[in-house]
């Protein structure tokens, strides 16, 4: 009798927990779609792209100088003394190190590009997150997932996608 009671309690607990899970409300958003419909985000992205191209050209110019120095060194090395060879090699190494420093300065984990991204994009992302929270609270959603985040979402019913509602909440209605 005790055995059946334990089995009954276990089945009841499983039934209640699965009923609780199915009662949860969820929705999906496509952050790429939302961001691409916000002019401030697009303008910030364009500004970041321009800066990135400018910095990349600067770095490429330094690497081109390194290449030129190296080619000249190869051509002239036969005629150079040991001291002159060492001096030229050091010049090439210094210039190459300068190019690497520029890469780190602009594109490193704590570089200028990351700082600018944070400055320009964070306010927009905060507004979007606030809008998502507002819509989730209004519609009594338990969870909102990002379809663009490569989290393995294969299919979502269109009614579960609230991206357009988020844009309306932000004032960018389609």
pLDDT in tens, 55-110: 999 999 999 999 999 999 899 988 889 999 999 999 999 999 999 999 999 999 99
Q: Which phi-psi region, left, alpha or beta, contains residue 28 (left: φ > 0; alpha: ψ -120 to 50)?
A: beta
Pairing assessment for the beta strands 26-29 and 143-146 based on DSSP bridges:
parallel
Its sign, for the CA torsion 111, 44, 121, 151, is negative
pLDDT reported for residue 152: 56
Residue that is written with structure tokens 């990135």 in the block: 52
- In the chain, DSSP finds a helix count (H) and a strand count (E) of 6, 2
Q: Which pTM value belongs to this model? A: 0.68
**pLDDT of 155 above 90:** no
**pLDDT of 12 above 90:** no
pLDDT reported for residue 97: 96
**pLDDT of 4 above 50:** no
Q: Report which of residues 141 and 70 the model is more confident about.
A: 70
Q: Is 28 helix (H, G, I), strand (E, B) or coil?
A: strand
Sequence spans of domains, the chain: 25-170
């Amino acid at each position: 009798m005790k055995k059946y009671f334990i089995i009954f309690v276990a089945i009841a607990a499983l039934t209640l927990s699965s009923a609780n899970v199915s009662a949860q409300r969820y929705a999906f958003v496509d952050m790429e779609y939302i961001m691409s419909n916000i002019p401030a985000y697009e303008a910030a992205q364009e500004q970041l792209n321009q800066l990135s191209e400018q910095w990349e050209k600067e770095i490429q110019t330094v690497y081109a100088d390194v290449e030129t120095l190296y080619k000249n060194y190869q051509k002239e090395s036969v005629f150079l003394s040991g001291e002159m060879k060492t001096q030229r090699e050091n010049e090439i190494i210094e210039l190459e190190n300068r190019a690497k420093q520029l890469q780190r300065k602009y594109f490193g984990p704590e570089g200028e590009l990351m700082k600018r991204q944070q400055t320009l994009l964070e306010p927009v992302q905060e507004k979007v997150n606030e809008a998502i929270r507002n819509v989730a609270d209004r519609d009594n959603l338990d969870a909102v997932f990002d379809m663009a985040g490569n989290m393995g979402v294969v299919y979502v019913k269109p009614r579960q996608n609230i991206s357009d509602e988020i844009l309306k909440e932000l004032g960018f209605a389609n």
